[in-house]
A and B are shown apart, each in its own frame.
Chain A
Amino acid sequence: MIQTLNVECLCLLALALRLILIAYGEWQDHTMLVKYTDVDYYVFTDAAQYITNGQSPYNRATYRYTPLLAWMLMPNVYLSPVFGKLLFVLSDVIAGYFMHQILLLRGVDGKTSKVCSSVWLFNPIAMTVSSRGNAESITIMLVLGTLYFIMKKCTKTAAFLYATAVHFRIYPATYCLSLFLLLDEDYTGIKQPTKRTLNFIRSFINPSRVQLVFVSTMTFISLTVLCYIMYGQEFVEETYLYHLTRRDIRHNFSVYFYMLYLTSESRWSFVVGVVTFLPQVVLLVAVSCWLYRDLPFCCFVQTFLFVTFNKVCTSQYFLWYLSLLPVILPTLKLKVQDAITMATLWFLGQALWLLPAYYLEFQGQNTFLYIWAAGILFFAINVWILIKLLYAHVHKPMFSKGKLVKWNLKDK
């Protein structure tokens, strides 16, 4: 059926399904004590309410996002509380459309592109998350938009979208080195001399890189300054510093959780904080330098590493790299049974963690050591999955002589 419909129809169908879920969510919220809507959505709406009263959105406890999000959700107060959800599901579907266009640009045939983008458009996890009122879809749409416009060589548009994505969420900042390195002579098409030292330094600077750095820096600074003028130091603390210095000792998927809990309030906590930061930084820099030529895959690997090696890991972070999976699927030379094994182990790892976590949180049993062991196991499964994907990936540089290189999936 996917072959017969064009991508616009698929997007409309995906949007319709999400609207149905939103409608169901409204019904459940009104009739049952357990809400369909995400707790975060109520936080956003409350923050928007504060803004309509002329106050700071940070008056709402646990609001840790850019004030722009609360501004965008002001129609929740004036029009309908459902407005924000409509915005998020629309971003979700646009993200799916971007995935399709990125694949087409890369030379993947129409049918495969539609199947891959359907993996996102009709994914129950993606549908549920955005219809529950989670704002991740906005960042995901911005990241995919960045990739799309880079591939079309619209450097300034890509830089603008990239800076906006970083303003919303910190994790896209990890792509900055790969984006910079990508815009080399293969991207611009202009050969540059690299023989002498002075020219080597000059070869780092080309018009595309200047555009990228200038536009993204100016956009990010403008957004930050605007928000700082409006809300002051509180904006910086809640939107950025909280996420960077966050030491959540409550149980979560991170491999470091129990170690951070046991070393909290001790003289080792600073050292431990640095130690947990190192693998993330080293891996991100190394992968940026080695894999930048195939940008979608590089971004996927970087996001996967960021989430897996992070001090805090909750299930909504998984969407950050799952949203890049449809775009890299055609480049993976994987047997179906391998793919199924990987997916099964990934879900199994989470289930094995959720079991002792349930006993801790809802039965009050002391299962900390089991949660830790399950965290190590899930971490090992993720490392194994990444290694398999690295081996399965067919590396094809995106640009050559200033033009986008189309994949020829037949000669792998």
Chain B
Amino acid sequence: MPPTLACFSLLCAAILLVGGCTGMANTGATDHAAELTTSLIEFIVKTKGRQERIIQTVCPRLSDVLVNRTAQNQGFHRDVLTEVSLPVAMATPPMLCRLLLVETVPAGMYVDLHQVAFRTDFGGPKILALRDIDVEQTAHQSTQHRLLLYSPLQQSPQGFTWRVVLPVHLRYHRWAGQGEDTSATVRLKGPDVLIHCEGDSQAATRCEESRLFPAPCAADSQEVCLWQLISGKAEPLLFQVPLGQQSHAGLVITGTIAAAVVGSVLILATARRTRREAHRKKDSKNKKE
């Protein structure tokens, strides 16, 4: 292992350990933090390779951060709108901040990165996927995947709002058995909102190690930055997916097979009859000649 990579891995392991030790009170959050750090590090090592350094972040005082989530549209193709509002004290110059949203997309849905790439030209976010996404698989044959959403911050008189629309698609699910619910529920948990700030400001405080995560600085950047997790958990969104029902199976199987058989027999009979008529006409024509 090259020395710089070893240094980097050791640094990340140190963050992990520190993060694991502090904040032990909420083990659920710690597990999640540890798991998130691991997947981020794996991704960085896989795609960015050797890292000379990690760009540090300045941690501003965090007042109330509001995260608002809504789902738009109906059916299999939805838009998930996330709005993050930060008070103006947080990110006024000379402090420069960027926001990163970490989405954990459940197995029951997927994001089409090619579609997202089209939307970038029209103000959509730039997205990195930590793993390849199979857009054609059914829900029960898929796993959850993580996305990193990068988007510029929009400034408003009240503060900073960050508004991003993520197009998601619900996967086809396995049919509902007898007596089971005719629709499945897909649960999209709230995102992890991370911020990276650079600059000098009196508003800065000491960074809490347990809330620091390494991630690429931008979607197309080779550099790795440290990002601070902001609190402000959003409620999970629930999506309903209609399912085929086994109670229909009897009718559907019989009906389909009957249609196929009747259709085939009719076509065979017609083709045979028209062929015989054509032969009869040809024979009578030959007789005339």
Contact = CB atoms under 8 A, between A and B. Distances in A.
A393 interface: yes
B242 A364 contact: yes
Contacts of A255: 256, 259-260
Interface in B172-189: 172, 174-175, 182-183
Interface stretch (A11-19, A129-137, A165-173, A282-290): A282-290
Contacts of B73: 362
A71 B174 CA distance: 38
A319 B128 CA distance: 38
B174 A265 contact: yes
A258 B256 contact: yes
A295 to B, nearest CB: 15
A205 interface: no
B249 interface: yes
Contacts of B242: 360, 364-368
Nearest to B255: A376
B135 A62 contact: yes
B72 interface: no
Contacts of A387: 266-267, 270
Given A258-B244, A262-B249, A390-B270, A35 B172 contact: no
A364 B75 CA distance: 3
Interface string B232-258: 000000001111111011001101110
Interface string A263-286: 111000000100110010011001
A369 B182 CA distance: 12
Given A258-B244, A283-B267, A291 B260 contact: no
A272 B259 CA distance: 15
- Best-surrounded residue of B132, B252, B255 (most CB of chain A within 10 A): B252
A360 B259 contact: no
B271 interface: yes
A328 interface: no
Given A265-B174, A279-B261, A368-B242, A259 B256 contact: yes
A35 B244 CA distance: 31
B264 interface: yes
B278 A395 contact: yes
Nearest to B169: A361
B249 A362 contact: no
Contact of B76 (A39, A61, A62, A362): A362
A386 B134 CA distance: 39
A33 interface: yes
Contact of A363 (B75, B132, B244, B261): B75
A349 to B, nearest CB: 13
Contacts of A291: 271, 275
B274 A380 contact: no
A275 B259 CA distance: 13
A256 interface: yes
B138 A286 contact: no
A2 to B, nearest CB: 31
Nearest to B134: A61
A262 B241 CA distance: 16
A279 B271 contact: no
Contact of B257 (A258, A262, A275): A275
A291 B267 CA distance: 13
Contacts of B248: 258, 262, 368-369, 372
Given A286-B268, A364-B75, A364-B240, A33 B275 contact: no
Interface string A94-108: 000000000000000
Interface in A385-412: 386-387, 390-391, 393, 395, 397
A147 B114 CA distance: 39
B50 interface: no
Given A279-B260, A363-B74, A262 B135 contact: no
Given A262-B245, A275-B257, 19 more contacts: A42-B114, A249-B172, A255-B260, A258-B248, A261-B175, A262-B246, A262-B253, A264-B174, A279-B264, A286-B272, A362-B77, A363-B74, A363-B75, A366-B242, A366-B243, A380-B263, A387-B266, A395-B278, A397-B282
28 contacts: A33-B119, A61-B134, A258-B248, A258-B252, A262-B175, A262-B246, A279-B264, A282-B268, A308-B263, A309-B264, A360-B75, A361-B76, A361-B77, A362-B73, A364-B240, A366-B182, A368-B245, A369-B248, A372-B252, A372-B255, A376-B255, A376-B259, A383-B263, A386-B267, A387-B266, A390-B270, A395-B274, A395-B278
